[in-house]
């Protein structure tokens, strides 16, 4: 528990005081990769832009002006070290942690398929700039036709301050495919502070089962910190109350981007007053994106 709050305070410090811990020479610099319609590519810092052209400080050519009508695509990313001139790609999986979503949303047509330990399967796709929908299942029916849980996950995302403060709301509405068709799910709201690369999210959710909602909300505190061109540290944590028992589900681990595919490795640590020993469950997941940003 103590370690969890240390991590939360650390993430908060990064978001609120981003200059602390860095010298003037190591401040963040944003690089952009620009491809023009004739196949030329440029990488550098955008000095200025208007409706007609972009003034770019290219790493090789120096200061150049590019007409917007000639540009095919612009990709941006963060370069953490001034001396490192390589491109930091945009976070291709910025809308969620290991399981939990955050306040960022998928772009129209952008989506992903997620799998954890073979059995947990889920896919989501953006329908508009502010709305996405997904669905998932755990195919237990493969084991002698056992009851199988399935669900849908609509989500609304609203950028209050672009790339700095986002809010989201959504639901997980599911049922178990058996004779009783037992319903289950959660309604939630979440607030995300920070960029797509480094952020902290705080959420509240009310779960329900068989049509009855929980009397107390579940609290979710999650965060991610980008540690390299293709790597992230992440923690996703749930605080649940049932009667006089408080249950904490803690996760600590990371994400590695291989091409565009995300590989998640983490430990799931359950704790409560009824658990008298420490244990951690290793988890491994993969996320495959699809759509325009693929």
Q: In this predicted model, what pLDDT tens digit does every residue of 257-274 receive, in sequence order?
A: 998 899 999 999 999 877
pLDDT of 11 reads 46
Read out DSSP for 18-56?
TTTT--GGG--EEEEEEEETTS-EEEEEEEEE-SSEEEE
> How many other CB atoms sit within 10 Å of the CB of residue 142?
10
Q: Give me 257's structure tokens.
A: 């981007």
pTM, entire model: 0.72
State yes or no: pLDDT of 31 exceeds 50.
yes
pLDDT of 87 reads 54
**Angstrom distance (rounded) from CA 100 to CA 151:** 15
Q: Which of 168, 193, 167, 166 is nearest to 13 (CA)?
A: 193
pLDDT in tens, 175-222: 998 767 679 999 999 999 999 989 999 999 999 987 789 989 999 999
Domains and CATH numbers, the chain: 29-79 (2.30.30.100), 91-290 (2.40.160.40)
pLDDT in tens, 2-30: 444 444 444 444 443 443 333 333 343 56
Q: What sections of the chain are H helices per DSSP? A: 2-16
Place of tokens 């959420």: 203
Question: How buried is residue 227: exposed, middle or buried, by Cβ count under 10 Å (0-12/13-18/19+)?
Answer: middle
**Angstrom distance (rounded) from CA 103 to CA 291:** 20
pLDDT of 252 reads 96
pLDDT of 35 reads 83
């Amino acid at each position: 528990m103590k370690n969890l709050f240390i991590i939360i305070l650390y993430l908060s410090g990064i978001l609120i005081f981003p200059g602390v811990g860095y010298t003037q020479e190591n401040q963040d610099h944003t690089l952009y990769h620009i491809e023009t319609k004739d196949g030329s590519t440029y990488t550098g810092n955008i000095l200025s832009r208007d409706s007609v052209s972009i003034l770019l400080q290219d790493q090789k050519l120096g200061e150049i002006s590019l007409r917007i009508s000639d540009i095919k695509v612009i990709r941006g990313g963060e370069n953490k070290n001034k001396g490192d001139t390589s491109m930091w790609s945009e976070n291709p999986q910025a809308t969620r942690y290991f399981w939990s979503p955050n306040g960022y949303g998928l772009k129209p047509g952008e989506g992903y398929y997620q799998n954890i330990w073979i059995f947990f399967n889920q896919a989501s796709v953006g329908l508009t700039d502010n709305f996405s929908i997904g669905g998932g299942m755990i195919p237990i029916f493969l084991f002698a036709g056992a009851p199988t849980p399935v669900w849908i996950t609509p989500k609304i995302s609203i950028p209050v301050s672009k790339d700095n403060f986002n809010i989201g709301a959504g639901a997980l509405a599911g049922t178990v495919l058996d004779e009783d068709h037992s319903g289950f799910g959660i309604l939630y709201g979440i607030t995300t502070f920070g960029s797509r690369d480094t952020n902290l999210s705080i959420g509240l959710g009310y779960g329900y089962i068989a049509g009855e909602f929980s009397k107390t909300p579940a609290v979710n505190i999650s965060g991610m910190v980008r540690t390299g061109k293709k790597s992230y540290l992440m923690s996703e944590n749930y605080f649940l109350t049932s009667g006089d028992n408080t249950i904490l589900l803690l996760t600590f681990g990371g994400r590695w981007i291989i091409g565009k595919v995300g590989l998640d490795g983490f430990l799931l640590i359950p704790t409560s007053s009824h658990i008298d020993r420490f244990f951690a469950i290793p988890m491994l997941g993969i996320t495959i994106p699809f759509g325009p940003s693929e």
